[in-house]
Amino acid sequence: MEYLDLLPEHVRTDALTALHAQRQRWVNQDKKGFLRYRRPSEALAAFHAARVDCCSDTVILGDTDEIDEGLRQQVRQHLLAFKPWRKGPFSVFGIDVDAEWRSNRKWQRLLPFLPDLKGRTIADIGCNNGYYMFRMAAHRPRLVLGFEPSVQHYYCFRALNGIAAIKELAIDLLGVEHLPLFPACFDVIFLMGVIYHRPSPIDTLRDVFTALVPGGTVIVESQAIPGDDPVALFPETTYAKAPGVYFVPTATCLRHWMVKAGFEAVETFGSHPMSSSEQRRTEWMDFESYSDFIRPDDPQTTIEGYPAPHRVFLRGRKKG
């Protein structure tokens, strides 16, 4: 079943159906940039895990004894095609995929503050390979739709969920900018690791607001600068070596943006400095990582001389 069939009827417009069809045609092109991910994705999706466990820190898709050593080597080669692995950990038929981020830690911080996800229609914006979507699946949602414009991550999720076969999880090659096509659609929207990449963060939050049902909840997680003033850093070029960073707010500034966008009951429920114990180079991500982004002689300062990043967690409600 297509995810479109699980959305409220008023959202299943000709415009959304046409966009979805266009995206499907696009990812199915026989061009090198697509085939390099589509081929391993399809090869992996041919495997089916007998045991799937999304309840613990490591998402487990199949036990070691479900396939023989020869097949495990094939699975490993296909998984390596998705390097660099940013989000995890996963264990796939006994192969431990130790991603750059220990994403389980973020999930543990969020968990006590989440609304009930059971039976809910959820969007995960910028879902990457779907690590958090798998963790959400353990709560028995009606649908989790991942928005992800990267072909690499799109096909990585398709591979993992081909193995897991969780029918409540779906992905489309969409960006946060497509949320206006989903008015009053989602009970819960996760906007994590995205807002500081947006040139117009309040417009993005307004789009999120529009896409929530009345009474719906947004969970926003962002890189932030330390401090209590309602201000945002605007880097000249990169921030902690990341290009495409626009406004890096304090938690207070982000709270004000959310209020301006229309949310009520806005609260900050977490904040911590980022560190190399949570984001680091591994066998599955062998490029630069956190320790390369920060001045070696001054851990409070990025390579560019800006305040080193914190992470903040906020939630807000759309009036019911």
Ligand X SMILES: C[S@@+](CC[C@H](N)C(=O)[O-])C[C@H]1O[C@@H](n2cnc3c(N)ncnc32)[C@H](O)[C@@H]1O
Residue 159 in the binding site for ligand X (CB under 6 A): no
Minimum distance, C-beta of residue 61 to ligand X, in the bound complex (Å): 19
Q: Return the number of the residue (125 or 164) whose C-beta is nearest ligand X.
A: 125
Taking the complex as a whole, the smallest distance from the CB of residue 69 to ligand X amounts, in Å, to 33
CA neighbor of 133 nearest in space, from 147, 152, 116: 147
Bridge partners, 61 (sequence order): 52, 92
Q: How far is the CB of 252 from ligand X (least distance, A)?
A: 21
3-state secondary structure of 246: coil
Backbone angles phi, psi at 183, to 5 degrees: -65, 140
Window of 22-30, 63-71, 192-200, 277-285 that interacts with ligand X by CB under 6 A: 192-200
Q: Does 144 bind ligand X (CB under 6 A)?
A: no
**131 in Cβ contact with 59 (< 8 Å):** yes
Instruction: Choose, by CB under 6 A, the member of 62, 88, 146, 193 that binds ligand X.
Output: 193
From edge to edge, which strands make up the β-sheet containing 90-92?
52-53, 59-61, 90-92, 95-97
Q: Is 238 left (phi over 0), alpha (psi -120 to 50) or beta?
A: beta
Q: Where are the beta strands (DSSP E) in 9-75?
A: 52-53, 59-61
Q: Which residues contact 149 (CB under 8 A, 6 or more apart)?
A: 173, 174, 175
Alpha-carbon gap, residue 72 to 90, rounded angstroms? 15
Q: What is the DSSP string of 292-306?
A: HHEETTEEEEETTSS
User: Toward ligand X, which CB reaches closer, 150 or 252?
Assistant: 150
Q: Which of 41, 91, 128, 250 binds ligand X (CB under 6 A)?
A: 128
Question: Does 149 interact with ligand X (rule: CB under 6 A)?
Answer: yes
Task: Please say which residue, 67 or 123, places its beta carbon nearer to ligand X.
Answer: 123
Q: Which stretch binds ligand X (CB under 6 A): 175-183, 225-233, 255-263, 300-308?
A: 175-183
- Residue carrying structure tokens 């081909």: 162
Judged by CB under 6 A, the stretch of 32-40, 146-154, 292-300, 312-320 that binds ligand X is 146-154
Q: Which stretch binds ligand X (CB under 6 A): 55-63, 142-150, 209-217, 282-290?
A: 142-150
175 binds ligand X (CB under 6 A): yes
- Figure out which of the listed residues 147, 155, 239, 293 binds ligand X, where binding follows CB under 6 A: 147
Contacts of 183 (CB under 8 A, 6+ apart): 10, 11, 210, 211
Instruction: Please state, as a whole number, how many other Cβ atoms lie within 10 Å of the Cβ of residue 287.
Output: 9
- Regarding 279 and contact with ligand X (CB under 6 A), the answer is no
In whole angstroms, how close is the CB of 182 to ligand X at the nearest point?
A: 13
From the list 74, 83, 85, 68, the residue with the least C-alpha distance to 44 is: 74
Per CB under 6 A, the list member of 169, 192, 224, 285 interacting with ligand X is 192
Site residues for ligand X, 196-255, by CB under 6 A, read 221
User: Is 153 among the residues that bind ligand X (CB under 6 A)?
Assistant: yes
Of 62, 126, 130, 201, the one binding ligand X by CB under 6 A: 126
Least distance in angstroms from the C-beta of 131 to ligand X: 7
Give the shortest CB-5-to-ligand X separation in angstroms. Answer: 23
- Is 125 a binder of ligand X (CB under 6 A)? yes
Q: Residue 243, SS3?
A: coil
C-beta separation of 110 from 139 below 8 A: no
* Cβ 148 to ligand X shortest distance, Å: 6
Interface ranges with ligand X (CB under 6 A): 87, 103, 125-126, 128, 147-150, 153, 175-177, 192-194, 221
